[in-house]
Structure 1
Amino acid sequence: MTRDRDPVSPPVALTIAGSDSGGGAGIQADLKAMTAHGVFGTAVVTATTAQNTRGVEDVHAVPADHVASQYDAVVEDFDVGAVKTGMLATAPIVETAAGLLARRPAPVVVDPVMVAATGDRLLSPAAEAAYEGLIERATLVTPNADEAAVLVDEPVETPADAAAAGRELVARGAGAALVKGGHLDGDAESVVDTLVIGDEEAAADPTVRRFENPRVATDATHGSGCALSSAIAARLARGEHLTDAVAGAIDGMEAVIRRGYDVGEGPGAVNPAAFDGGA
């Protein structure tokens, strides 16, 4: 006996990011977070990495023209409701992404993957400089404190610094900036994330909004930035207001970190499947 097909038609989001062979971050984490929010995830791979829970051993960037080909293939077939960018690897890829996204009306979440957990810079000076053009296209940019310091060329060590950095990023063209607070004070019992909203949004919301949540006592935060930015993009693809999308995604991160994966010989990784999706 055959059965009738009963398909679903979820919103579609796109991640433009690198692949993590260890499965904890990058494209792999992005797609898990999107699925957890009931969104169909599509992907443009910018680089492949040889990594696991202990660290990164090798990175191979994809040619920029192939990044463009992947992007064109996706948008020609899918109604993409939101885009997020992660690891972009090289200046030509950053510039290519900025040019491609300039043609799209969909919201864009830029997660500027620039600084490793060790504090090492991941991009060349040329690639860091190329982010100026991408920030201008961003509906939201989501740096951690170290990345915000690189972008604005000022130290970011306190929530007040985070607000100042967010205002600067908005002044440079971003619609809004979420400066993540996980790196601000590792000994604090709570994490303070700072959202700075541009003029268009400010009519309905405060210019600066802070989200304070208990810190989870763990070093297993690999993939947390990917999961958060992808969750925000998924919520935007579903049509949520920017502030609601940010608040909902941040609220879900406690479970994503607390219920993280204990796999491999390193600290482990976050669990994007733990998002409740907010649906």
Structure 2
Amino acid sequence: MNNVLSIQSHVVFGHAGNSAAVFPMRRLGVNVWPLNTVQFSNHTQYGHWTGSAIDADQLASLVDGIGAIGVLPRCDAVLSGYLGAPDQAQAVIDIVRAVKAANPHAQYFCDPVMGTANGCKVQPGIEEFLVSHMPEVADALMPNHSELQRLVGREIETAEEAVAACRELLRRGPKVILVKQLLDRNSPANRFNMLVVTEREAWLAQRPFYPFARQPVGVGDVTCAVFVARLMLGDALRPAFEHTVAAVNAVVKATWDAGRYELEIVAAQDQIARPREWFDAWAADGA
């Protein structure tokens, strides 16, 4: 069985970070070792939350602890997401290096969570570190549209421009770029776009866009989790991508149908594993 060390936030109530990512990966048959970067009462977009970040030295110490019992060689991948403090970013890099020293075949998947003025809140300095250092370290980067723009330092308005930006990032080190939300001025407003790019492939897919009064949090965390899990289970790039689009649609649709704000991950669990609706990907321009 594949093992993923998932370094993300934890919320007591709701679904964000590890609280959104761990269950889908396990439901798909991938074992997860959760390492929480923060312990919050709820995600930050409620406007009020309590809790704190885990000390970076403690993150390193916890990984040293599992290394001491001899299991790091069994770690097949590291997935990182929301970071609670800038020094955690360097701790993640050190952890990735420790895992790869124990298992040279292990892969590092980075969800570069940078936050927005009106949405997810991150501490100053985290964005700068992610932009400057993570492309050289990660085997795969999984930004949303805004994060992709910040990684390449320019605005992106079309799928073609996004493919070019991803190929630019690939030259810095990653082998795969998953754009978990792509804003394309040429796309209908009722469609949600996603893109995955490697040196030789570029696949674009669309699912329905659900017009929530306020969009649920954690969709990107579920997206990254399913994509990592499908690759760990042996899927090629396109089927892993298509399964991700379909599974995330099932979760979001279940949430929409229930009239909820927090994701209905448990209710949609069977469709995470076996989605009823499928969305074929097509080759993006520039592939």
Deviation at 1:221, TM superposition (A): 2.8
1:255 & 1:48 partners in 2: Cα distance? 28
1:35 to 2:26 alignment: yes
Whether contact under 8 Å (1:108, 1:233) holds in the other structure is: no
Q: Following the alignment from structure 2 to structure 1, what is the Cα–Cα distance between the partners of residues 51 and 155?
A: 28
TM-score normalised to the size of structure 1? 0.81
Distance 2:173 2:42 in 1: 34
Query: Equivalent residue for 1:15?
Result: 6
Equivalent in the alignment of 2:282:
none
Distance 1:161 1:117, change over 3 A: farther
Find the residue that maps to 2:10 and give its secondary structure.
strand
Map of 2:263 onto structure 1: 269
Read off the aligned partner of 1:162 and give its amino acid letter: A
Instruction: Decide whether aligned partners of structure 1 residues 60 and 121 sit closer, same or farther in structure 2, where only a CA change above 3 A counts.
Output: closer
Aligned counterpart for 1:73 among listed residues 62, 65, 69: 65
Paired residue secondary structure (1:18): strand
Amino acid paired to 1:127: I
Which residue is equivalent to 2:284?
none
Gaps of 5+ in 1: 1-9
Q: Which residue of 1 aligns with 2:139?
A: 139
| 1:185-218: CA deviation from partner (whole Å, max 9, x where unpaired) | 69712122121203xxx2xxx2x22112222343
Structure 1's 174 and 270: CA in aligned 2 closer, same or farther, altered over 3 A?
farther
Structure-1 separation of matches of 2:65 and 2:233: 22
Distance apart, 1:56 and its partner CA: 4.7
Contact map agreement 2:177 2:196 (CA 8 A) in 1: yes
* TM norm structure 2: 0.79
User: Which of the pair has the greater relative contact order for Cα pairs under 8 Å at 6+ separation?
Assistant: 1
Kept in 2, the 8 Å contact 1:18–1:48? The answer is yes
CA distance in 2, matches of 1:160, 1:90: 34
Counterpart-to-counterpart distance in 2, 1:262 and 1:117: 29
Gaps of at least 5 residues in structure 2 are 276-287
- SS of 2:82's equivalent? coil
1:228 aligns with 2:220: no
Specify the SS of the correspondent of 1:113: coil
Shift of 1:169: 1.8
Give the match's secondary structure for 1:276: helix
CA deviations on 1:102-155 (whole Å, 9 max, x unpaired) are 34131222111112482566242x322222322222222111111112222212
3-state SS of paired residue (1:115):
coil
State the match for 2:191 in structure 1.
Answer: 190
Identity value in percent:
24
Return closer, same or farther for 1:248/1:155 CA change in 2, 3 Å cut-off: same
Mapped pair 1:214 → 2:221: no
Contact 1:110 1:141 in 2 (8 A): yes
SS in 2 for 1:51: coil
Partner AA of 1:57 in structure 2: W
The Cα of 1:234 is off from its aligned counterpart by 1.7
Query: What corresponds to 2:54 in structure 1?
Result: 62
Amino acid aligned to 1:253: V
User: Match of 2:41, SS?
Assistant: strand
Mean Cα deviation higher: 166-175 or 222-231: 166-175
Alpha-carbon distance in 2 for matches of 1:115, 1:274: 31
More moved, 227-236 vs 56-65: 56-65
Q: 1:82 to 1:171 in 2, by over 3 A?
A: same
C-alpha distance in structure 1 between counterparts of 2:71 and 2:179, whole Å: 34
Shift of residue 275, structure 1, vs aligned partner: 4.1
CA distance in 1, matches of 2:241, 2:123: 27
Equivalent pair of 1:42/1:74 in contact (CA under 8 Å): no
Moved more, 214-223 or 104-113: 214-223
